[in-house]
Structure 1
Amino acid sequence: MQHGPAPLPRYLRIHRDRGHLVLEFHGEIDVVAALEITPFLDSATGRPAPRIVIDLRPAEFFDCSGLRLLFRARRRVLARGGTLHLVCTHPLTLRILRLTRLAELLPPAASLDEALGRSESSGPLEIN
Structure 2
Amino acid sequence: MTPDTDDRAPRPPGGPATAPYHGLGPAANGNARTYAYGRFTVVEAAGEIDLESAGRLAEHLDAATAGPGPDVLVDLRPVAFLDCSGLRVLCRAETRAGAQGGRLRLVCEDPRVLRLLRASGLLKRFPPLPGIPGPGGGARERR
Q: Shorter-chain-normalised TM-score: which range?
A: 0.7 to 0.9
Residue 32 in structure 1 maps to residue 60 in structure 2? no
1:90 match: 110
Indicate yes or no: 2:129 matched with 1:102: no
Counting aligned pairs with the same residue, the percent is 40
Counterpart residue type for residue 112 of structure 1? I
The residue number in structure 2 matching 1:67 is: 87
CA drift at 1:117: 4.3
Aligned residues: 114
Q: Give 4+ residue runs of structure 1 displaced > 6 Å after superposition.
A: none
Distance in 2 between the 1:110 and 1:57 partners? 9
Deviation at 1:60, TM superposition (A): 0.4
- Counterpart selection for 2:67 from 40, 43, 47: 47
Distance 2:137 2:125 in 1: 17
Unaligned runs of 5+ in 1: 119-128
Superposed CA deviations along residues 40-70 of structure 1, whole A, max 9, x for unmatched, are 2111111111110001000000001110111
- Indicate the RMSD between aligned Cα atoms, in angstroms: 2.1
Deviation string 1:70-105 (CA, Å, 9 cap, x unpaired) is 101110001010021111111111001111121101
The structure with the largest helix share of the pair is 1
Q: Normalising by structure 2, report the TM-score.
A: 0.73
Distance 2:77 2:53 in 1: 16
